[in-house]
Amino acid sequence: MLKKLFGLDKKEVEMPEADGKDIIMSPADGEVVPLSEVPDPTFAEKMMGDGVAIKPANGLIVSPVHGEIMQLFPTKHAVGIKTVNGLEILIHIGIETVNMQGEGFKAHVKEGDKVATGDKLIEFDMDLVNEKAESTITPIILTNGDIVASAEKHENQQATAGSTTIMTVSTK
Residues involved in catalysis: 92
138 forms beta bridges with 54
